[in-house]
Amino acid sequence: MSTRLRISRTHYPVRALGPGHRLGIWLQGCTLACKGCMSRDTWSAGGGTETPIEDLAALWRSAVDRGATGLTVSGGEPLQQAENLAAFLAAADEIRRGADRELDFLLYTGYDEAELDEPRRAAAAQADVVVFGRFDVAQPTELVWRGSANQRMVPRTALGKRRYAEFVDYAPEQGPLQLEAGDDGPWIIGTPRKAALRTLDRSMRDLGLDVTEVTWRR
């Protein structure tokens, strides 16, 4: 049986979680259960879809062919599938080695670096940049591509340092967000700032849209 990852969703292009146009892969399953998480639909280990890493590698190859500048892996908690994630990132690395441009891997994890065991450390080592730390609703931030001020963006390779050095302490006037339409309704890509989701709720209601269920209010 082929190696598989349990996936919540994938999307291309992602423009709100890393520089440029990226393939985004959200893994399913998270036991960290951060208060205020906007993606509670990704918590259940039984949700999502088990996907062969060959299929995910094919998605990555297609994104590269379409001009992707990088790969972003989030969740859920990606490092709770560490060994299979490492296998996928190794396959993705083989593909990017044949590209005509530099392509970076950005990984989000709720774990702090000191919490990583050997399999999780090995998976994280394949990313050019890792955002470490649990989301803390009590520590809002304006730092780009982070949900709370305690989260640390750590470039780990020469490519990561070249491409992300300017973003480690960068706080844009407006944080990047994407609103996409899926089979289950609209969904948000990015790291909303304080009160942004409540404002979105209110705006949709003002437009006459009946918002009956969202992942961040459960």
Output helix, strand, coil percentages for the chain, rounded to the nearest 5.
30, 25, 45
Partners of 49 in the β-ladder: 7
Q: How far is CA 85 from the centre of its chain?
A: 13
Supply the pLDDT for residue 218: 40
Long-range contacts formed by 147-153: CB under 8 A, 24+ apart? 147/38, 147/191, 147/192, 152/113, 153/129
pLDDT in tens, the chain (218 residues): 689 999 999 999 999 999 999 999 999 999 999 999 999 999 999 999 999 999 999 999 999 999 999 999 999 999 999 999 999 999 999 999 999 999 999 999 999 999 999 999 999 999 999 999 999 999 999 999 999 999 999 999 999 999 999 999 999 988 888 888 777 667 789 998 776 556 555 655 665 656 555 454 44
Token pair listed for 54: 């060959």
Sign of the CA dihedral running 166, 75, 16, 210: negative
Residue 88 to residue 83: CA distance in whole angstroms: 9
Q: At what angle do helices 53-65 and 82-97 cross, to 10 degrees?
A: 30
pTM across the whole model: 0.90
Residue 176 to residue 191: CA distance in whole angstroms: 8
Residue 164 to residue 146: CA distance in whole angstroms: 13
